[in-house]
Homo-oligomer: A and B are copies of this chain.
Amino acid sequence: MIGRLNHVAIAVPDLKAAAALYGGTLGAKVSAPIAQPKHGVTVIFVELPNTKIELLHPLGDESPIAGFLARNPSGGIHHVCYEVDDILAARDRLKASGARVLGDGEPKIGAHDKPVLFLHPKDFLGTLIELEQA
């Protein structure tokens, strides 16, 4: 069911420092910061040859990563995103297996303008998983 690893998301307390680290010290290709107010984050994309790292910083008062950064002030790996061919079929299969889908269970349009869902970390080895329609 799951396909490519679309990205690994890392929450960061300081975007400038994060861009300098990945773009400078680690020598990767990084984008400019991109505000995504609908998602409550500003993102820097790190392009690797086979996938992306997304450096996320809170934007606005209700950022979904604010709590995570409060608990992890140095930052940390926030989630992984797997691609699926059919997000509704994937959701139904997961729910039928007893796994919890976050929110109301309806896909939202994610940061790449594609439908996404998040799965409950307690049902997935302590890992927050985003599913994105491929």
Q: Which residues of A contact B (CB under 8 A)?
A: 1-5, 8, 10-13, 18, 21, 24-28, 48-51, 53, 55, 72, 74-77, 80, 82, 93-94, 97, 99, 121-122, 124-127
Contacts and interface: CB of A to CB of B under 8 A. Distances in A.
Nearest to A1: B27
B97 A25 contact: yes
Given A3-B49, A5-B48, A125 B18 contact: yes
Contact of A48 (B2, B12, B74, B126): B2
Per CB-CB distance, the 8 closest pairs between chain A and chain B, nearest first, are A1-B27, A74-B126, A75-B125, A75-B126, A76-B126, A77-B77, A50-B50, A4-B50
A50 B125 contact: no
A97 to B, nearest CB: 5
A125 B74 contact: yes
A82 B76 CA distance: 16
Nearest to A124: B21
28 contacts: A1-B26, A2-B28, A2-B48, A3-B49, A4-B48, A4-B49, A4-B51, A5-B5, A5-B8, A5-B50, A5-B53, A11-B126, A12-B125, A18-B125, A21-B125, A24-B97, A25-B93, A25-B94, A25-B99, A26-B82, A50-B50, A55-B125, A74-B122, A76-B125, A76-B126, A76-B127, A77-B80, A77-B126
